[in-house]
Structure 1
């Protein structure tokens, strides 16, 4: 990370555009003149393009230009509340509109023979809604552990959205949903995201170096907006006409894996692969699991190049 990856990162291009309601959305790209294909990365909640430098390096070495941006309200992009660590959104569709704007105004400025989309977790829901509502320039899409449902006890699923709406009603201004707090660094042993201590430690060190990237728990509004968006991903699946590979983490404790099965059953363009024993952050996992996710992704993209 301190050698070739860092050297690549120093050569990145970066910029900013105005998202919905004028929120500044910051982006980066890593480009080489000879490349004829690109991949657009759509990250998850509480993430930033800073986190995926290793991945971008690997794609760049394979001949892909890389584009990535940070969602409104997190990472390097503009915040929506006075509390910079509160995960909040007014409308989930704003994420989708921002992605469309990024593709139209930044990515599509360069001519490529092939374009690919890679999305993780919440970004998987954003990317899916984008595919369902816009004409897409992408040849193929890979969704890593997409948020088509949030993992929670079955009885809570029935009332979670209603409870979140009630909590929002009683908050004079946006604040954390019950039980969630500002950013707090959890020890590796307590995390349910990945099993690579090196990558986990590197990501946490990144937040120490750049505290402005930190994000804590979500607001009640984010919760019910996200739950509604996840349902809409499955409801409108018949509008997808782009080949999709869904990579599921076998030991995911964050998103609802059963929702992936429902999605792929309804989506004629979807192929699903399960990576056994992997946790939610497939691209931050230990090598034996992460390598499989990366291999499946690259092979899928190559089959549509």
Structure 2
């Protein structure tokens, strides 16, 4: 018998969002485990887990730029309800992990591959020792880039993976595409220390009405309120070095697609103006040409934050995610 996608109303819904977050989600969050491990260059990398829900399968959530695992409590709750143990980490330079610059709101990285190395250390030291039968991965945006490179480098570790609006390319105007990376390299060389890329600024809370991320006001406001209550989580624009490192990493995702043997579900918002949706097509075609398992699902009308969108978009995203993972369940 073919497994059926979970029913939409198994997931948290916007009309009950405030009550759900204050009630059962907060209760679940009280039972989290947190810790630190040593990443590249001995940086302290923070992690969280929610365990005891399934001894056989765990899912690793790899979040995006400027994010923290604190932001993903609603998603964790939905995954826990579906019977997964959940693990997540905060990338170097953001969340509760060590910063790399004196300006704590600058989004910076020395080498993009350090993110991948940190994720491998997290898997080896925190997740793997629990002896799950299956390991799954859900990567969003920059986390999708990190997850893609991880899967290409370590093709036997993850049983099935979902990439939510992965940064396989950064959306920029056509005339800027040829010069964006070289320009960022020149700007970095002119800076005495890591600093913002041109046009980028420290953290500020964009009003909901002007935001390009999602169309759910209640979820968006919760995220902004979280960062006001925990200002140590705030991250602003990227550094010049992060820009060209990120663009190079996105290109490598497509170049290394053939090395991935893990079944992939790639989720795309048709109204996404953060990442380059055309790059998703290139990744998808590269997977198919290498005879790899990859499904591309477009969520019509959804913006970049597929996991924080309005219910009409988020429900099918979660249903497709869980159905995809269930196809690999023993």
Question: How many pairs were matched up?
Answer: 305
User: 2:111 maps to which residue?
Assistant: 91
Instruction: Give the distance between the partners of 1:103 and 1:18, measured in 2 at CA.
Output: 12
Paired residue for 1:104, among 116, 124, 132? 124
Q: How far does the alpha carbon of each residue in 1:136-195 deviate from its partner, in whole angstroms, 9 at most, with x for none?
A: 321100000000000011110100000000100110011111111110011000100000
Provide closer, same or farther for how the CA distance between residues 300 and 110 of structure 1 changes in structure 2, counting only shifts above 3 A.
same
1:295 corresponds to which residue?
319
Greater alpha carbon shift after TM alignment, 135-144 vs 213-222: 135-144
Contact 1:119–1:143 (8 Å) recurs in 2: yes
Equivalents in 2 of 1:42, 1:136: separation in Å? Answer: 18
Q: What is the aligned partner in structure 1 of residue 299 from structure 2?
A: 275
Any residues of structure 2 matched to 1:252-263 within 5 Å, and which? 252-263=272-283
Q: Return the offset for 1:5.
A: 0.1
Give the alignment partner of residue 285 of structure 1, picking from 294, 309, 312: 309
Aligned partners of 2:309, 2:52: CA distance in 1, in Å? 28
Contact 2:167 2:250 in 1 (8 A): yes
1:69 aligned residue: 89
1:187-206 to 2 correspondence within 5 Å? 187-206=207-226
Q: Distance in 1 between matches of 2:78 and 2:295?
A: 24
- The answer to whether the 8 Å contact 1:35/1:63 transfers is no
CA-atom RMSD, angstroms? 0.8
- Say if 2:205 is the partner of 1:185: yes
Cα offset for 1:269? 2.0
Within 2, Cα distance between the matches of 1:25 and 1:136? 24
Runs of at least 5 residues in structure 1 that lack an aligned partner in the other structure: none
Alpha-carbon shift at residue 113 of structure 1 (Å): 2.0
Can you give the 5+ residue segments of structure 2 that lack an aligned partner in the other structure?
1-20
Q: Shift of residue 33 of structure 1?
A: 5.8
Give secondary structure in 2 for the equivalent of 1:2.
Answer: helix
Matched, 1:167 2:191: no
- Paired with 2:137 and 2:188, the residues of 1 have a C-alpha distance of 34
Q: Tell me the TM-score normalized by structure 2.
A: 0.91
Question: In structure 2, how many angstroms separate the alpha carbons of the residues matched to 1:165 and 1:269?
Answer: 36
Q: TM-score, normalised by structure 1?
A: 0.99
* Separation (CA, whole Å) in 1 of partners of 2:165 and 2:240: 23
Which of 44, 49, 60 is the equivalent residue of 1:40? Answer: 60
